[in-house]
Structure 1
Amino acid sequence: MSLQSVNALLLAGGRSRRMHRDKATLIYGGRTQLERAAELLSELCPVTYLSLRKGQDLPADGPDLPTIEDAYGEIGPLGGMLSAFSTHPDNAWLVVACDLPFLGPVTLRHLLRERDTDRIATAYRSARDGLPEPLCAIYEPSAFRELSRFWEEEKMRCPRKILIRTEPKLLDPVDHRALDNVNTPEEYDEAAAKLTATA
């Protein structure tokens, strides 16, 4: 399977309850996080899909990407991933959450280079606890069966717990900050300030 067969899935269907506003619309350096992430993924993958919850509206001036609506209800990121596989079961997916403002091309290119098509997934190991980082990872077509099984048989909705039990290829992070997500207004202010300082 060639690297060109990896499509990107940008997860933007969360309700951002702790942030009190849609994290996809947060502004960094004059652009929304959705725009920044979409551009980054579109430079690396032949097609980037936007994962949205049912009935979700995005700004009309947002990136023009094909969308996949979450057909599994509100079970978190796993619903978006299962919906993507249901729509395109033969694809491998580079799954990325829309709340990673420090994520850059170096981290994603390394992930693509080190991809192991014989494993269910290729993911980074958390610098904090050594566990898999499921929302910046490549999932092979074989992952569809396993993700579905854990959901249908055990109602397991946490992608990290599923990866722990399925032996993905794990990589050491090349940029420890790249996988830091932003969930609260305070974290957003801190991230925006850091990105401005390094611009």
Structure 2
Amino acid sequence: MGQDKAALSYNGRPQLARAVDLVARHAERCFVSIRPDQQPDPLRASYPCIMDRREIKDRLGGGPMVGVLSAHVAYPGVAWLVVACDLPMLDDTTIAALVHERNADLAATAYVGESDGLPEPLCTIWEPATLAALHNQARNQKIRPRQMLGGSAVRRLEVKKTGALENVNAPDERDRALKRLGCCEQEV
């Protein structure tokens, strides 16, 4: 994308602020996952943060699951409602349904991706035992969260709002998201 997706503005607000506000309505506490180089960023610093743990990054090489597993290490006994910061069309109804439909007796509660039918790991409630198993798996091999969720006992939900889980990774995807959200101007 060439830009920090968390800082991209939609309807006059950075996407990270929109995502945090959305999750905060449904969670007891809300944290932003950050890499060490993101610590001085004023946008991220305005929220409680959990820093990626070096030993997890060294094992996984990077990616969003470093943040998820770092959160699990910080608070191992809790379930985590994980939401990516590049989902500008995610809405309150979609998150509310995920929280309402949670089944804590299963590995996770996840939406099924519209395009591939696999559970979406970055709009999921991960249960503590599943995160512990992923953490242990990460010690020995590269983890593949989508495949892991696909093979586990997971509460799978269908997305009611078309496009709610579409992420923005390229300028043309952002242009489409801005149009769908009804943003009047091309925002920078």
Query: Normalized against structure 2, the TM-score is what?
Result: 0.89
Of 30, 33, 56, 2:38 maps to: 56
Output one character per residue of 1:90-110: Cα deviation in whole Å (capped at 9) or x when no partner.
111000000000000100100
**Matched AA of 1:192:** L
In the alignment, which residue of structure 2 is the partner of 1:38? 20
Q: Distance in 1 between matches of 2:16 and 2:40?
A: 10
Q: Distance in 1 between matches of 2:160 and 2:137?
A: 30
Q: Distance in 2 between matches of 1:63 and 1:54?
A: 12
Of 167, 180, 184, 2:166 maps to: 180
Percent identity over the alignment is 41
Q: Distance in 2 between matches of 1:77 and 1:63?
A: 18
Q: Distance in 2 between matches of 1:54 and 1:128?
A: 33
Between the two proteins, the alignment pairs up a number of residues equal to 179
Q: Distance in 1 between matches of 2:18 and 2:41?
A: 14
Q: 1:30 to 1:63 in 2, by over 3 A?
A: farther
1:183 counterpart SS class: coil
Of 113, 118, 126, 1:139 maps to: 126
Residue 68 of structure 2 corresponds to residue 81 of structure 1: yes
Q: Which runs of 5+ in 1 are unaligned?
A: 1-18
Q: Distance in 2 between matches of 1:58 and 1:42?
A: 23
**Matched AA of 1:39:** D
Q: Distance in 1 between matches of 2:161 and 2:172?
A: 22
Given that residues 150 and 162 in structure 1 are in contact (C-alpha distance below 8 angstroms), is that contact kept between their aligned partners in structure 2? no
Given that residues 120 and 140 in structure 1 are in contact (C-alpha distance below 8 angstroms), is that contact kept between their aligned partners in structure 2? yes
Q: Distance in 1 between matches of 2:40 and 2:94?
A: 27
Q: 1:81 to 1:151 in 2, by over 3 A?
A: same
Residue 115 of structure 2 corresponds to residue 125 of structure 1: no
Residue 7 of structure 2 corresponds to residue 21 of structure 1: no
Q: Distance in 1 between matches of 2:44 and 2:133?
A: 33
Q: 1:152 to 1:45 in 2, by over 3 A?
A: same
Q: Name the structure with the higher helix share.
A: 2
Of 94, 103, 107, 1:116 maps to: 103
Query: Normalized against structure 1, the TM-score is what?
Result: 0.84
Q: Which runs of 5+ in 2 are unaligned?
A: none
Q: 1:88 to 1:192 in 2, by over 3 A?
A: same
